[in-house]
Every structure is written in C-alpha cells, then in structure tokens.
Amino acid sequence: SNVEGALKGKHGKLVSDLLALDQRHLFDGWPDDGAHEASGHQLLQQLQHLDANYNGGLKAYITNAKKLLQDAQAGANAFQGFTPEVPKGKKLTYASEKFEAYEQQGVKAAHGAAFVLVAGGLGERLGYSGIKLALPVDSARGACFLQVYTESILALQQLAQQQKPGCLLPLAIMTSDDTHQRTADLLAEHNHFGAEPSQITLIKQEKVACLVDNEAHLALDPSDRFKLLTKPHGHGDVHSLLHSSGLLQRWRSQGVSHICFFQDTNGLVFRALPAALGVSVAHDFDLNSLAVPRKAKEAIGGIARLTHRDGRSMTVNVEYNQLDPLLRATTHPDGDTNDSSGFSPFPGNINQLVVKADSYAQQLERTGGLIAEFVNPKYADSSRSKFKSPTRLECMMQDYAKELPSEARTGFTVIKEVWAAYSPVKNAPEDARAKVAAGSPSHSATTGELDIYHANCRTLQQLGAQVGEPDQCNFNGLDVELWPRISWSPTFALTLAQLKSKMDGEGLVISKGASLVIEGADVHIRNLRVDGALRIKSHARAHVLIDGLTVSNGGWNWRALNPDKPAKEEEWIRGFKVCRKDTEELTYSEPGDYVVPPKATRIQDNKAKQHAPEQAVQS
C-alpha cells in the first residue's frame, strides 16, 4: 500500500512517527496507480519541512496540540488559580517635562538599541492585498510604514552617534512566506530607505500545520489532497528566530543593550519608543511594555498583575478574548468594562516592548526562545467537538513576560494620551464601522492616517502654534475629524527636543484645511503662515530657515470617494482621495544656506541665487 511505500522511503521515520500519532489519514487513499508518486512525494516533503521547522518536530506539535485542544474543549481557564489586579507602572503625559526627560534618557541610551519589527501578518482583516509595510502612513507625505520606521531608526542613530560615533542601529524584520519577498523587494527598490543594507536583516517565520479536530488530525487542503493546510504561528515566533538565527548573539557582541519590538502599522510608534527606552534604562527593566488607555472590549490585550494561589505573580498581557472571562470568574463580575474614567482599568498592550539584552539572552538560552502556545478553535456547536474551519497553535510575542522568572523586573509605560502613541491600521471598512458601533476605536486605514495629522496638530499646538479647527468628515461611513494635514519626516524631528529646536511654535499659523509637509534634517521654521499647501523638501546638508513666509493657495482636498469611480486599493480602505489643486514647493537639493523669503539685507549679489529656492512654484 502507499503507507508501506512511504514507510520504506527516505521519510520513513517521520511517517512511522505520524502513524503512531494517529495521522494515518494523511497517507490513506492515495490512488495506487503510480501516477501520484510525485504528489505523494510533495506531501512527504511538506511534512518534512514542517517537522524541521517546529521545535521538537511534528511529534511535539501534535502532542502539544492535543493537550491544548482538550483544555479548550473542556473550557479550561488558561489563568486557573490566578487573580488579576491593575498593575502599577509608569504613567506619562505626552510632552510633559517627565516625558521629555525620559525621552532624553532614551536618546542617550540609543547607541545600544536594536529594533525588531514583526511583519509576518498579511492583513487579511484590513482587506488589503499588498503587504501592510508598503501602505502610506499618511497621504500628505506619502511615505510608507517601512520608510517611516527606517527613517525613524536612522534619525535616532544620528542622535546616538553623538554618544558613540559611527554606531549603526540594527533592525530585524520578521517576515513570513506571505510577506517575505515583497518586503525584500520594497527595501531593494528604495535602497533600504537610506540604511546600510547590512543594518537590516530579514528573518522569516514558518507556518504551522492546521488541525481539523480535537484529536489534532492534520488538515489536508480540500483542493489538493497532497497538500497540508498551514497557517501563521503568531508573532511569538520572533523570539526563537532571534535565537536560532544567531542574530541576538551577534547584536550582543556589537554592544546592543536593549531591543525594541514593534508592529507593522502604528505610524505613531516612534513618538513614544525613545521615552520607553529611557524608562527601561532608568528603572533597569528586563521587560517594559508600552501601553495606552484601553477601551473595554477593545481588541488589544490588557496588562494585568496576576497572583496565583501559591504566591507566584507576574505582570503580563491578558489577550482581549481572555480578559473578560478571567475578570468575570474572579474580581470583576461584570467582566471587561470601563470604569469612571471611560476606560478599562487595565492598560492596553500595544505590543511595543523594550527588553534588556542581557536578561533576554539568558532567557533565550534557557528556553530556546519558545513561547507558551494557545489554540483558539471556532467550534461548530456547543458540543465543542467540531470546528467551523481548521485551527492551529499560535503564540504571541508579549508572552515573553510569562517566561521570565518572578524576580525579573517587568514594568510598563502608559502614555496617557492614546492619540500620541497608538493608531494601528488593522480593520477593513465594514469591520471598522462595527467596532465604532460597539464603542471601540476603528483601527482602520482611515483613522491610521487622520490620527497622524491630529497628533502633529496637537503637538504643534502645545508648542504654541495656531492650528485651524478640524473639518468634520465622513469617510467609509466613519465620522472623523480631519485636522490640517501636517506631516514631517523623522529626519526633520524625531524627538520633542528636536521639534522644539526646529520649530518656533509661536511663529506658526496653519489655517483650517491647510497642508504642510516637511522633509529634511536641517529645516528651521521661525515664522510661517500656511493657508493652502506647502511642501518643503531639502537635502541633508541644506540649511533652510523659513522666516516670514506666507503661503496662500488652493491647497489640497481630502475628498470622500465616489463609489462609482475607480480608486486605488489604498484609497478604498481609507475612503478618500487627495486632490492636489495648488502646491507651493520649496525644494533644496544642493547643500548650502537658504533663507526664505530671501532677506534683502542679507543677500549679497554673488549669493543671491543660492538663497532662493530652486522652485517656488504654484502648480
């Protein structure tokens, strides 16, 4: 029979293990006509691949799955014996003195920072077919997530080089089969967005086999009997990959002291990450999770201190689907609800983690980077014996906290203003509307963009700028505020101190509906009024001073899409299109000193040309 054939072949040991694990269905029923030899071989190769890429092989995977599926069927509480309480952590008001002090401390420590971006998810929930890293963070500037992230690291690197000349801050990107090639292509196409190619390492996670039932039978693809269904194993894979790739060890030998983890679509992440690094250093945290106030039932985990009956305790993320049952079963009979502040008392985990490299490496040595797994089957009925669709084991990167010994120093840093630190792009328009109807933020492509403008406007207001009121709009059925479209590159300002040194807030007036985009490291704004659209773009060594400029033109419009007219996919998920009527472009592509508008008294004849922008056009 085919089973016997498979047992005799080079994958015989694996086949016999699988038979012992009750997986005969994989080999049964192959037509015995020889024509299917190649297909059978393909299946065996896939099994071998899955076996090689899971710690302990398929045997361990199926054994772990059986145990977790049994627990899930029995409705076992993953936190049995634990009582949750609201943990104590650092709470920072964005742009407060304390915030800035931590930010500066983070900048001082940045020469020891390495970054890890988890980007293996494809964003099916968003309804976008490309990789999320390629989506523009905002349409005003048009830079994609990967560009903004890389530029932010390079901006921090420039500050870090004041402490450690020549240092390069490394970035690892975890990809998956779904995202790997497109991520590599995006980097290559844009010359790594200015980073040294050696600074960026892609580490690819492998998928795991799907399971059809509580007995952990592996799932065959209904459209190809010789192929197993596979799905992503979750962002928790990042730890074992950093370990097994040798990257962590290499970083440590290069002097890396802290590792900052972040996700694929939060355009605000670097507003708070330097301060979180500062908090980690100041308090010598082994693990520091960045958090924001969380709305009850919002699809972000809650950070809780859990104390076990036996005295153990840990500060960990309790995922959104587990928080409500845990609270109901213990301290909060009403479950996951808001308190009088209008937010859940448990801070919201946004999966931006800062870990100390020394203790992280020790843990990874000990555990191989393995993270506690879970399974989340969607059952067909209340007997919990059949699944609606195949499931798989998963793991989450924040569960690293669970692996730490109780004496480890774990903490978190709450940024009290969600607007300053967190607005991910996760949900398709229809789901986004449903989230809002249920009282949660939409976490849509619409708000991901609009929240950047809002954050920038609010920050500039805090510096004394006059910023026009937002327009009330409806995009994709979401009622939103459209603030003036202000966007700047991280090279212009990453930290608040940089922003303050480049912008004299008191001299800045941005009208309602106006747009301002600034790109360039050495641009200074002393006195500027924008009523329309202005884009400033300057070469790294062009020193530009805007002092006394008024821009008044037709500007840019964010227009709701007409459902009958074609639009790009990234426009559909946002629900608007940008119409650029008039733009004042100030471009400086040569090094030099430029003052705008040119000051008659300062211009000497032979320098006059240099002082004028290359183009000052109204298009």
Stretch that binds ligand UGB, among 66-74, 114-122, 489-497, 498-506 (CB under 6 A): 114-122
Compute the least distance from the CB of residue 207 to ligand UGB, in Å: 8
Is 427 within 8 Å of 451 (Cβ atoms)? no
Stretch that binds ligand UGB, among 228-236, 276-284, 444-452, 455-463 (CB under 6 A): 228-236
Q: Which of residues 345-404 bind ligand UGB (CB under 6 A)?
A: 349-351, 396
Nearer to ligand UGB, 438 or 617 (CB): 438
Compute the least distance from the CB of residue 300 to ligand UGB, in Å: 4
Compute the least distance from the CB of residue 502 to ligand UGB, in Å: 30
Compute the least distance from the CB of residue 236 to ligand UGB, in Å: 8
Compute the least distance from the CB of residue 176 to ligand UGB, in Å: 6
Pick from 277, 336, 332: which is nearest to 301 by CA?
A: 336
Nearer to ligand UGB, 238 or 544 (CB): 238
Draw the binding track, 415-454, toward ligand UGB (x: CB under 6 A; -: no contact): ---------x-x----------------------------
Nearer to ligand UGB, 403 or 519 (CB): 403
Nearer to ligand UGB, 21 or 318 (CB): 318
Question: Which position's Cβ is nearest ligand UGB?
Answer: 121
Compute the least distance from the CB of residue 420 to ligand UGB, in Å: 15
Residues in contact with ligand UGB, counted by CB under 6 A, come to a total of 23
- Phi, psi of 579, rounded to the nearest 5 degrees: -105, 115
Residue 297 near ligand UGB by CB under 6 A: no
Burial 406-445 (b: 16+ CB within 10 A, else e): eebebbbbbbebbbbbbbbbbbbbebbbebbeeebbbbbb
* Alpha carbon distance 229, 218 (integer Å): 8
Candidates 118, 156, 219, 229; binder of ligand UGB (CB under 6 A) is 118
Is 114 within 8 Å of 245 (Cβ atoms)? no
Compute the least distance from the CB of residue 193 to ligand UGB, in Å: 18
Candidates 264, 373, 449, 584; binder of ligand UGB (CB under 6 A) is 264
Cis peptide before 597 (omega within 30 of 0): yes
Is 172 within 8 Å of 116 (Cβ atoms)? yes
Amino acid at site 133: L
Is 544 within 8 Å of 594 (Cβ atoms)? yes
Amino acid at site 603: I
Nearer to ligand UGB, 126 or 219 (CB): 126
Candidates 40, 87, 106, 121; binder of ligand UGB (CB under 6 A) is 121
Candidates 146, 300, 465, 586; binder of ligand UGB (CB under 6 A) is 300
- As to burial, measured by CB atoms within 10 angstroms (0-12 exposed, 13-18 middle, 19+ buried), residue 107 is buried
Nearer to ligand UGB, 233 or 239 (CB): 233
Candidates 120, 293, 390, 448; binder of ligand UGB (CB under 6 A) is 120
Strand duo 208-209 + 230-231: pairing: antiparallel
Candidates 152, 183, 214, 263; binder of ligand UGB (CB under 6 A) is 263
Q: Which of residues 66-95 bind ligand UGB (CB under 6 A)?
A: none
Q: Which of residues 177-216 bind ligand UGB (CB under 6 A)?
A: 205
Compute the least distance from the CB of residue 385 to ligand UGB, in Å: 26
Cα-based distances in Å from 497 to 200, 275, 417, 509: 27, 12, 19, 20
Cα atoms in the Cβ-side hemisphere of radius 13 Å centred on 82: 22
As a whole number of angstroms, the longest Cα–Cα distance in the chain is 95
Residue 317 near ligand UGB by CB under 6 A: yes
* Alpha carbon distance 46, 541 (integer Å): 53
Compute the least distance from the CB of residue 263 to ligand UGB, in Å: 4
Residue 235 near ligand UGB by CB under 6 A: yes
Cα atoms in the Cβ-side hemisphere of radius 13 Å centred on 306: 19
* Alpha carbon distance 444, 554 (integer Å): 29
* Alpha carbon distance 134, 142 (integer Å): 10
Pick from 486, 519, 490, 483: which is nearest to 505 by CA?
A: 486
Interface with ligand UGB by CB under 6 A: which residues? 118-121, 174, 176, 205, 232-235, 263-264, 300-301, 317, 319, 349-351, 396, 424, 426
